[in-house]
Amino acid sequence: MHQLMMPVSDTLRELIVARAATHEIARQTQLEGMPTLCDAAFARVREGVTSVAEANDATETA
């Protein structure tokens, strides 16, 4: 699995520099169309690129 890299908008850059809360940054990335790692992983499952087990391993939270 790999993570899609996306250009950082001015708004997102400002949040990062201001050390905004994680949920604020996550909300902005979703507004800008960045899929979550889980969404991206299971899209690869639907495309037949990877298995459900591998997607689960890549997105598992401790």
Q: pLDDT tens-digit profile of 1-40?
A: 556 676 799 999 999 999 999 999 999 999 999 888 899 9
Question: Where in the chain are the domains?
Answer: 10-59
Q: Residue 61's pLDDT band (boundaries 50, 70, 90)?
A: confident
Task: Provide the pLDDT for residue 31.
Answer: 94
Full-model pTM: 0.63
What does the alpha-carbon distance between residue 19 and residue 15 come to, in Å, rounded to a whole number? 6
Cβ(42)–Cβ(55) under 8 Å?
Answer: yes
Residue 5 DSSP class? P
Specify the amino acid at residue 48.
G
What does the alpha-carbon distance between residue 62 and residue 34 come to, in Å, rounded to a whole number? 23
Task: Provide the pLDDT for residue 62.
Answer: 53
